[in-house]
Structure formats: structure tokens, C-alpha cells
Amino acid sequence: MYYESSSPEHKAKERAKARKLRQSTWWQNQLSKGFCYYCDQRFEKDVLTMDHKVPVARGGVSSKSNVVVACKECNTNKKHLTPAEMIFNS
């Protein structure tokens, strides 16, 4: 279940899980594909970031089903929105 905002404890726990996930072989494979989830453009691995589709600040979790590879521009533009809200707000 996702909440509009989450506790500081939830945020700390999920950010720690994200740091661990970034070191996984699964994440390295996602990065090596080189495509941004949002704009579908190809980028070098070192300019891609991890984005939570449902942001941690809104109750999202750091799991393979909720994190995607994003270019810095898309990640910055997304802010705290979900992908559906990004479409609705464009």
C-alpha cells in the first residue's frame, strides 16, 4: 500500500535498500542497457540514475518492481510524481 507521505523511518529504510540494490548484478545489468525508462533515449551508464516509480517520500519501496533507470533530466523533471501523474500533468 502506498501513502501520500511516509515516515522518516520508512524513508531511511528504503534509501538503505536502494543503496544495496544499486550494487546488485541486476541493477548493473539494467544500467548497461543504457535506456531511460521515461524518454527511451540511450545514454552512457555514468549519466543514468535510479528512480522510484512511486517515490519513497510517498510510500514507495526500493524493490525491483518499483525502481527504473532514468536519465538525470527525466529524473529531475519527474520530482515526486508517479509516471501516471507525469502523463496527466504534461
Number of domain units in the chain:
1
State yes or no: pLDDT of 3 exceeds 80. Answer: no
For residue 26, what pLDDT is reported? 97
- How many angstroms separate the CA atoms of 41 and 89, rounded? 21
Q: What is the mean pLDDT of residues 17-44?
A: 97
Residue 38: CATH number of its domain: 1.10.30.50
Task: Residue 55: give the domain boundaries.
Answer: 8-89
With a CB cutoff of 8 Å and minimum separation 6, the contacts of 62 are 14, 15, 17, 18, 21, 52, 56
- Is residue 25 in a domain? yes
- Is residue 49 in a domain? yes
For residue 86, what pLDDT is reported? 81
- Is residue 21 in a domain? yes
- Is residue 18 in a domain? yes
CB contact at 8 A, 80 and 58: yes
pTM over the 0.85 mark = yes
Any idea which residue has 535498500 for its cell? 17
pLDDT-derived band of residue 48, with 50, 70 and 90 as boundaries? very high
- Is residue 2 in a domain? no
SS3 28: helix
